[in-house]
Structure 1
């Protein structure tokens, strides 16, 4: 594996690790919404749901940008062969 390919693979693994962490954060957020619905007075549900929507949108946008960056790097590495 070339150095460029290894670097891209490392970036991809880091993105997967970060994505795993964000998904776990979303799980905790949705559990908080469920608990507030069941046991709370439901004061925070709308704010928690809005936060979840924002985080999902923001992370999807970030991942899209990273995919484009990695694809461009792969394309460049392929041309350099």
Structure 2
């Protein structure tokens, strides 16, 4: 089933909204690392940094897959014109 350019645009906007939310989550995690360092405890820095790293890698992979999928749908929609 071929997607219309309008539905592809909706998918792209949804991806941008979700990316904004994910970036805010990562910002909170980075702030947690800074607070942990400032208070001299530094007990959770490694775990928090690993979590940020995982989330960044995971989201980048997801976005790459979604962009590829949208590009294929756009190419198919262009051919169908």
TM bracket (short chain): over 0.9
- Where do 1:47-58 residues align within 5 Å? 47-58=47-58
TM-score by length of 1: 0.95
Are 2:77 and 1:63 aligned?
no
Give unpaired runs (5+ residues) of structure 2.
none
What is the match of residue 23 of structure 2? 23
Deviations 1:21-67 (A, max 9, x none): 00000000000000000014101000000000000000000000000
- Relative to the length of structure 2, the TM-score reads 0.95
SS at match of 2:31: helix
What secondary structure is seen at the aligned counterpart in 2 of 1:68? helix
The number of residue pairs the alignment matches comes to 79
RMSD between aligned alpha carbons? 1.0
Aligned to 2:36: 36
